[in-house]
Amino acid sequence: MAGTFSFSLSDIEHIISNTNNMVLGISKVMSVYYSEKKSQPEAIVATDPFTPEEFNEYIIDNNTLAQIEKLRSQDITFDWYVPEDIPFFAETKKIKQLDVFDENNRHILMITVKNEHDNKNDLVFYYFNKNLSNFAPSESENYLSPANKIAIGSMLYKFANLMAEISRNDRRALKSYNSNIRNIVNSLKKSVTENEEHHTNFYNALINFVNDALQELSAKSSRYVFELSESARMKLKDYQGEFKALNKIIKTAAVFAGNMNEGLAGKTVIIEDYHIDFGDSLQTEIQPSVRMDESKYDKTIILLDRLEEAAKVVKQKKLPLTGANVGKACKPPISAPAISDALNKHRARIKTVMVNYKDRWSTIRNDFKPLVNLLTSRASDDEILSRQA
């Protein structure tokens, strides 16, 4: 999900997703860890490229769970296993005195990471090749020596626990930061008084669409369940864009809300109105900067506002204040003839408005020739214009 922090994943998921940054050639990774979201141990299996989207849940039966819980409680940093000794595949047998062939078959590395929620070990099983091909091109059957395995196990144990500690430190820092942000938001946020209900088909379909999107995000998240607040529902009443664009908006809001939720109790993230940003997807009607008694002058005032803003841009760029340059600076751009046509159509009302607001639109009033010429028209014309206004 774009915009998420690395620690938005659980520690173990973050560690597994960095498998290829730790050592190349791992064929598979399996893990058992305590899920904060589910409040119980959970198992996952991952293969290259080890991205969270590729993680698959592994169902643990009660007999296997008992063995795993025993293993999670042991004081151990790392160990190497043969496949038959992994609880996922067979009951753990008493370890016999190993001969050299048994040692060669021990190519599965288990490292532990202390879980901060239940204080037991989370377990990560890395499936190595039996020979040295994980670390260098090798076509021989040279096996990893016991000394190799101790060095590799120690390195990956330290690397994984370092990643977990960095994630936790960043999570604590964000928790403190978010606490300050929430205080600011709460002090500025106005109480929402609108409680009217919209029963239109579009609004109902929109809310159902958003709820479906949040259910999908909740299912994919390892930590949170996302829900809309009433204030967010009220804000969505103003949405007039396409559902495709709304899907991206809601995903971005969920990331924002999830990040701000760090440090709060509970696993439900409430998406508030201020988490949702419509951006350019919601077009609002342009309002005139001033008002006359009659609404018929609104379009004239909006025209003058638009030309004034464009003229200021042209002057800042130190360009001549011509119709062509002002037209290019307008949003959206218009041609010089279109400006002249608009001024002619509004000329009577322009004179009336500019007489009433002598301190406004100073740039175009003094320096924009098409408007200056209109304002300095002959007195005989003014009588005609006044009747038109």
Residues carrying CATH 3.30.450, the chain:
6-168
Q: Which residues pair with 164 in a beta bridge?
A: none
- What is the dihedral angle through the alpha carbons of 342, 344, 350, 355, rounded to the nearest 10 degrees? 150
Task: Using alpha carbons, list the distances in angstroms from residue 271 to 182, 210, 241, 263, 341.
Answer: 13, 11, 20, 16, 48
Instruction: Provide the pLDDT for residue 193.
Output: 38
Instruction: Provide the pLDDT for residue 38.
Output: 85
Instruction: Provide the pLDDT for residue 335.
Output: 87
DSSP labels, 195-218? ------HHHHHHHHHHHHHHHHHH
In angstroms, the CA 91 to CA 86 distance is: 8
Tell me, what amino acid is at 123?
A: L
Question: Which pair of structure tokens corresponds to residue 197?
Answer: 């209900």
Cβ neighbour number for residue 253 with a 10 Å cutoff: 24
Instruction: Provide the pLDDT for residue 195.
Output: 37
Q: Which residues pair with 35 in a beta bridge?
A: 40
Instruction: Provide the pLDDT for residue 132.
Output: 60
In angstroms, the CA 68 to CA 148 distance is: 26
Instruction: Provide the pLDDT for residue 365.
Output: 93
Q: Where are the alpha helices (DSSP H) in the chain?
A: 11-17, 19-22, 62-72, 100-105, 146-188, 201-220, 230-236, 243-260, 298-316, 323-329, 336-345, 347-356, 362-367, 369-375, 379-388
Instruction: Provide the pLDDT for residue 137.
Output: 55
For the stretch 183-213, pLDDT in tens is: 777 666 544 333 344 345 677 888 888 999 9
Residues of the chain short of pLDDT 70, as ranges, are 1-8, 88-104, 131-142, 186-201, 263-266, 280-286, 378-389
Instruction: Provide the pLDDT for residue 146.
Output: 84
User: Which CATH number is 201-281's, of 3.40.50.300, 1.10.8.60, 3.30.1330.20, 1.10.287.610?
Assistant: 1.10.8.60
Burial class (CB in 10 A: 0-12, 13-18, 19+), 307: buried
For the stretch 29-51, pLDDT in tens is: 999 998 888 888 888 898 888 88
Mention the CATH class of domain 6-168: alpha beta
Q: At what angle do helices 243-260 and 146-188 cross, to 10 degrees?
A: 100
Instruction: Provide the pLDDT for residue 198.
Output: 35
The answer to whether the beta carbons of residues 314 and 329 sit under 8 Å apart is: yes
Instruction: Provide the pLDDT for residue 90.
Output: 42
Instruction: Provide the pLDDT for residue 95.
Output: 36
In angstroms, the CA 199 to CA 201 distance is: 6
Residues carrying CATH 1.10.8.60, the chain:
201-281
